[in-house]
């Protein structure tokens, strides 16, 4: 749909998470990123070290791929803090 609209000359803007809570490519985003003319990645601030955060770390023990939540369920983490947090949380994955 996005490509068809863009081919018709329309400006298409898509926003979404590029990775799931495990740090894996999420849903249709890899395909959309591949065909996009321009990509802007917006980052939060890592809640552990203050660096730029590109991961959404799930803080509750739930392995569902899609789980709606806000501050009570997710925190933004940079790559290094995300990897360290994932290693401390063996129940997820």
Q: Name which of 12 and 84 has its Cβ closer to Zn ion.
A: 84
Q: Is 78 in the site for Zn ion (CB under 5 A)?
A: yes
The residues in 2-41 that bind Zn ion, with binding defined as CB under 5 A, are: none
Listed in sequence order, the residues at least 6 apart from 18 whose beta carbon sits closer than 8 Å to its beta carbon are 25, 26, 29, 30, 33, 41
Grouping H, G, I as helix, E, B as strand and the rest as coil, residue 53 is strand
Phi and psi angles of residue 87, each rounded to the nearest 5 degrees, phi first:
-70, -25
Q: Name which of 5 and 43 has its Cβ closer to Zn ion.
A: 43
Taking CB under 5 A as the criterion, the residue among 20, 26, 48, 84 binding Zn ion is 48
Taking CB under 5 A as the criterion, the residue among 46, 75, 85, 86 binding Zn ion is 46
Candidates 57, 68, 55, 53; CA nearest to 92 is 57
Q: Is 83 in the site for Zn ion (CB under 5 A)?
A: no
Q: Name which of 18 and 51 has its Cβ closer to Zn ion.
A: 51
Q: Is 81 in the site for Zn ion (CB under 5 A)?
A: yes
- According to DSSP, the residues that pair with 75 across neighbouring strands are 57
């Amino acid at each position: 749909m996005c490509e068809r609209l863009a081919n018709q000359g329309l400006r298409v803007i898509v926003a979404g998470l590029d990775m799931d809570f495990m740090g894996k490519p999420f849903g249709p985003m890899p395909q959309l990123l591949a065909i996009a003319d321009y990509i802007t990645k917006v980052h939060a601030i890592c809640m552990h070290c203050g660096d730029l955060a590109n991961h959404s770390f799930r803080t509750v023990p739930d392995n569902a791929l899609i789980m709606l939540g806000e501050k009570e369920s997710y925190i933004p983490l940079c790559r290094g803090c995300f990897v360290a947090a994932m290693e401390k949380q063996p129940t997820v994955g």
